[in-house]
Amino acid sequence: MKISNDQIIDFIYAEARLLDEQRYEEWLALWLEDGYYWMPLDYQQTDPLLVTSLMYEDYFMLRLRVERLTGARTFSQKPKSRCNHVIQRPFIDEISDNNIKTVTSMHYVETRMDDQFLLALTATHELRVVDDKLRIANKRVDLLNSDAAFGSIQLLP
Amino acid sequence: MQSNKPTASDVSALFKGDQVHRDVYTSDAVYQLEMQHLFVNAWVFVGHESQTPNKGDYYTTHIGDQPVIQVRHSDGEIKVLHNRCPHKGTKIAIDREGNTGKFFRCPYHAWSFKTDGCLLAIPLKKGYVDTPLKNTENVKGIKPVGAVHAHRGFVFARLADEGIGFDEFFGDSLSSIDNMADRSPAGRLEVAGPPLRYLHKCNWKMLVENQTDTCHPMVAHESSAGTAISIWEEMGSPEPRPAAMQIIAPFMSPYEFFEEMGIRTWPNGHGHTGVNHSIHSDYSAIPGYFEAMTESYGEERAKEILDENRHNTVYFPNIMVKGPIQQLRNFIPMGPNKTMVESYIYRLVDAPDELLARTAMYNRMINAPTSIVGHDDLEMYERAQEGLMSDGLEWVNIQRLMTDVEDYSTEAVENGTTERQMRNQFDAWVKFITVSMDATA
């Protein structure tokens, strides 16, 4: 099945919406189970393994992260955080039979109680088509100020 | 603390031996005393030599609230300088690291200095010919700190010109740093990339105390470690276990595990958890590593090094190292209710990369601003910082497993859930603040 540019762009927007609406079960279902969510610590970092990243998480870790958010004894989520992504139209940098790469600028706001912060970021998605559906193979999130000191970032930018 | 001009006895009164006054966490006056005395009189961590490997390499950090530069001088020695031009006060270096070549040059008026701080040149120097500049402190150059000492690559400094010596201050506690470095077949560590930097809206001492607080993991981290275990069991308990199970799940170990792991305290506020075993004991072996260690040290010594599984070692006042995973956390005070936590990792020179990969994984899973385990802890610190503003009670309790005869000037090994190390820290806290204070008003 041929995937159109519009389908790819709609997919990126829909993923951000799932995160903002905290529909994590549906969000996890977008992922291929061997994928990684990578958030580098250093500007233009190339190595996810032998230096520290903010996140380099496999499917188990992502599942743990989102299940924890609703736990009865998850005190850092009592009360809960909320988030909002404002995203620019994705660039489709690569599109072949089964390999799609998009680059998307986003502004991400996270809030809890009286605190709110803004992050600017670039999300790079590697997508695959499996059984006629788009899935996330890998996702890299580069925060504009990844090397700055942060308080807790509890949800998913 | 009420007094406008606090005395040594005011400070001593904040620690009753079994309880500590909440002002030590909340009062700006107490914080100022820590900066003026504790962080001046104690030996404080600066950086690792491998952060400045070549001549002219520098790195900027803080000792307490004092901006300093660690630099490799032209003779190969590490110098630690106050990051302030002696002319107008401009910071000499503002980037986190770099190379300055053979000299520092102030960007404001181009006064220049050798990398040991000595004044090299002042433009248009004739303007000072008939002035008393030569009689000032300023003409000497960038002021170095009082004393610098490196141990197995770890650079410590004492701001005060006079005071306790390095070996007396640390004593046998250096065995934890030694064990961390010995785990390299070459006996050396190298810093691996920049540190995580996590801002905490709480007092720096809460973080230091938490390093040997063995009664919180199974409670505060149930949300992370407990959930990890339940997901894994739901999956049918697959082996090999997912990475998160190796790193995070041991936090759910029962009280008995932590009781039996033991706590050792040393004089001057140092101490560690994990005397007998620790949450790092069961990490899977890495192929080729033991063979490399045996080749370097012989089998018996290699086993001895690797059988040491110390959990967290606190070097008073404000760092913690984890020998078995080559990690250092620096709790840098930024105010009575603000702390910067920098978490570094190190490569074991000549060991397989898999060890460094696990160390990096531990760092991001546990110490990052994005870490779920970090979220658990920070929530508790910040709630405590806010709760301590209550006037309902003034004292914080640190009595757990206290005995009548505690002598912090000698080494001791006790039940792993004792709060003796917290008492040991406050004993040293009073000692190193009051040593340079007036006894009475």
Q: What is the CATH number of the domain that holds B359?
A: 3.90.380.10
User: What is chain A's pLDDT, residue by residue, as a tens digit (157 residues)?
Assistant: 689 999 999 999 999 999 999 999 999 999 999 999 999 999 999 999 999 999 999 999 999 999 999 999 999 999 999 999 999 999 999 999 779 999 999 999 999 999 999 999 999 999 999 999 999 999 999 999 999 999 999 999 9
User: Which helix H or strand E contains A13, and what residues bound it?
Assistant: helix A5-20
Distance from C-alpha of B72 to C-alpha of B66, rounded to nearest angstrom: 19
- Which one-letter DSSP state was computed for residue A155? S
Q: Which domains does chain A have, with CATH numbers?
A: 5-143 (3.10.450.50)
B288 and B349 fall within a common domain: yes
Phi-psi region of B237 (alpha: psi -120 to 50; beta: other; left: phi over 0): left
A111: amino acid identity, one letter: T
Identify which of A41, A50, A65 has the shortest CB distance to residue B357.
A50
Among the partner-chain residues A39, A147, A150, the one whose CB lies closest to the CB of B198 is A150
Which chain A residue lies closest to B192 (C-alpha atoms)?
A51
Closest by CA to B313, choosing from B275, B351, B286, is B275
Secondary structure class of A20 (helix, strand, coil): helix
Which residues share a beta bridge with A57?
A37
Collapse the DSSP code of A14 into the 3-class scheme (helix H, G, I; strand E, B; otherwise coil) and give the result: helix
- Whether B347 contacts B326, CB under 8 Å: yes
Residue A2: what are its φ and ψ, rounded to 5°?
-85, 125
- Tell me if chain A has a CB within 8 Å of the CB of B335: no
What single DSSP character describes residue A4? P
Q: Tell me whether A87 touches chain B (CB under 8 Å).
A: no
What domain range includes position B220?
194-434
Tokens at A125, concatenated: 């998605």
pLDDT tens string B341-393? 999 999 999 999 999 999 999 999 999 999 999 999 999 999 999 999 999 99
Q: Name the maximum alpha-carbon separation found in chain A.
A: 48
Domain count, chain B: 2
Q: Residue B103 belongs to a domain with what CATH number?
A: 2.102.10.10
pLDDT in tens, A13-37: 999 999 999 999 999 999 999 999 9
List, edge to edge, every strand of the sheet that includes B103-105: B103-105, B112-114, B119-121
| Contact yes or no for A55 and B243 at CB 8 A | no
Q: What is the pLDDT of residue B438?
A: 82
- Tell whether B51 is covered by a domain: yes
Tokens of B190: 């190298």
* Exposed e or buried b per residue across A69-84, where buried means at least 16 C-beta atoms within 10 angstroms of its C-beta: bebeebbbbeeebebe
Same domain, B219 and B144: no
Residues composing chain B: 441
Pick from B218, B238, B247, B198: nearest CA to B374? B198
- Complex confidence, ipTM: 0.96
Q: Rounded CA gap, A30 and A53, in Å?
A: 23
pLDDT for B268: 98
Residue B230 phi/psi, 5° resolution?
Answer: -70, -35
Do B111 and B218 reside in the same domain of the chain?
Answer: no
Examine the domain organization and report whether B254 and B109 are in the same domain: no
pLDDT for res B285:
81
Characterize the bridge pairing of strands A133-143 and B19-21. unpaired
Would you tell me how many other CB atoms lie within 10 Å of the CB of residue B287?
Answer: 8
Q: Looking at chain B from residue 28 to 47, which residues have their Cβ under 8 Å from any Cβ of chain A?
A: none
Q: Is residue B360 part of a domain?
A: yes
Phi/psi at B334 (nearest 5 deg)?
-125, 10
Q: Measured between alpha carbons, how far is residue B343 from residues B192, B210, B240, B367 in Å?
A: 11, 15, 28, 7
Pair A11, A115: CB distance under 8 Å: no
A133 has a chain B CB within 8 A of its CB: no
Q: Is residue A109 within 8 Å of residue A118, measured between CB atoms?
A: yes
Decide if B4 is inside a domain: no
Q: Could you say which DSSP state residue A28 is in? A: H
Is the domain of B113 the same as that of B215? Answer: no
Yes or no: say if B174 and B150 are a contact pair by the CB < 8 Å rule. Answer: no
Express the helix, strand and coil content of chain A in percent, nearest 5 each: 20, 45, 35
**B residues 143-202 near A, CB within 8 Å?**
192-201
Mark whether B210 and B118 lie in a shared domain.
no
| Pair B213, B331 in one domain | yes
Interatomic CA distance for residues B365 and B345, integer angstroms:
13
The 3-state DSSP class for residue A45 equals: coil
Give yes or no: residues B234 and B341 share one domain. yes
B406 in a structural domain: yes
**Residues B425 and B285 placed together within one structural domain of the fold:** yes
Residue B103 falls inside a structural domain: yes
Q: Encode pLDDT of B62-79 as tens digits.
A: 999 999 999 999 999 999
Cα B164 to chain centroid, rounded: 19
Strand partners, A87: A106
Q: State the count of interchain CB pairs (< 8 A) between A and B.
A: 120
From chain A, pick out residues whose CB is under 8 angstroms from the CB of B243.
58, 60-61
- Give the containing element (helix H, strand E) for A9: helix A5-20
* Any B CB within 8 A of A121 CB: no
In a domain, B250, yes or no: yes
Residues B253 and B350 in one domain: yes
Q: Is position B28 within any domain?
A: no
Mind spelling out the 3-state secondary structure of chain B? CCCCCCCHHHHHCCECCCEEECHHHHCHHHHHHHHHHHHHHCCEEEEEHHHCCCCCEEEEEEECCEEEEEEECCCCCEEEEECCCCCCCCCCCCCCEEECCCEEECCCCCCEEECCCEEEECCCHHHHCCCHHHHCCHHHECCECCEEEEECCEEEEECCCCCCCHHHHHHHHHHHHHHHHHCCCCCCEEECCCCEEEEECCCHHHHHHHCCCCCCHHHHCHHHHHHHHHHHHHCCCCCCCCHHHHHCHHHHCCHHHHHHHCEEECHHHCEEECCCCCCCCCCCCCCCHHHHHHHHHCHHHHHHHHHCCCCCEEECCCEEEEHHHCEEEEEEEEECCEEEEEEEEEEECCCCHHHHHHHHHHHHHHCCCCCHHHHHHHHHHHHHHHHCCCCCCCEEECCCCCCCCCCCCCCEEECCCCCHHHHHHHHHHHHHHHCCCCCCC
End-to-end CA gap in chain A: 31
Q: Is residue B114 part of a domain?
A: yes
**Which member of B245, B360, B378 has the closest CB to residue A152?**
B378
Q: Could you say which residues of chain B have pLDDT below 70?
A: 2-3, 282-284, 440-441
Q: Which residues of B108-122 are buried (b: 16+ CB within 10 A; e: fewer)?
A: eeebebbbebebeeb
